[in-house]
Amino acid sequence: LSTHAKMLFSHAKTLRLHTGNLVSRSRLKKKCPSSPSEELQDCIQATLSDWFSAVKPQSKDFPDTLDCSIPQETDAITPEEREELKVSVKLFLCEPVQSSISDAVQMACQTLAVSQLDSVIIAPPGPLEGNGQTLAHLQPAWEELEALVRSQQIAAIGTSDLDKDLLEQLYNWAQVKPSSNQVNLASCCVMPPDLTAFAKEFDIQLLTHNDSKELISAATFREAVREGTQDADIGDWRLEWVLRYSIIVKSRGIIKAKGYLVSASKASP
């Protein structure tokens, strides 16, 4: 492995990683990962490993933010095709860092070469004890999303795993109303009737998902980084957020591209 890449890695304080389009990536270890978590772990490892072998020593300076992506794997959208495509995003916050939502949205817009994301669904970091999310727990993230809607960086915003009571509380409090709510199929095979009725009345789309409560654990993330860099001595990286995007051809409803953006920071020694 390149010594230069290792030095870049040990110098950096922030890591930004873009997996590139998974629809066209044949290099992933598992052709059919069993879960989104396994897919993400595989992607992080493959991207780091490719980046490490491709990096060329260019200059003597070592940036604080390390951008790990494979240039030929980008998913930039051309202005001509933008009208025909829908860009939808799910953002998993791993730590309650306030600026992380706008950072993630900005990085997605830059990576995909668009000025606006069509929809963003937020999965806030869950409280560790019990299952209970509260409105107070959701509000800071929602206010940040609302600001991004006002600045036209996002067209529609949605939530994940809210029951009817919490969705109703959010709806009544929010200035920009949730346009969708994702329900985990593992937790219920049938949509709860009260949730269905509320969503129908207020025109909220109910979607299903199969993401685990914690998309990737801190230990699994560190393991993926270690395997991707083939080195145990690369510092203690903590995951800040993971953004998964899908680019859908509106007229045909097919996924043209999908990938992950990941941000991590190095824990201070």
Q: 230: alpha, beta or left, given left = phi > 0 and alpha = psi -120 to 50?
A: left
CA-based radius of gyration for the chain: 19
Number of domains making up the chain: 1
Q: Give one DSSP letter per residue of 52-100, joined into a string.
A: HHH-----S---SEEEEE-GGG--PPPHHHHTTEEEEEEEEESS--TTH
Structure confidence by residue, pLDDT tens digits, 190-224: 788 999 999 999 999 999 998 887 888 888 998 89
pTM of the entire predicted model: 0.90
Q: Report whether 142 contacts 174 (CB < 8 A).
A: yes
**What amino acid is encoded at 145 in this protein?**
L
Average pLDDT over residues 98-105: 88
Query: Residue 259's domain spans which residues?
Result: 3-266
Q: How confident is the prediction for the chain on average, in pLDDT?
A: 86
* pLDDT at 130 > cutoff 50: no
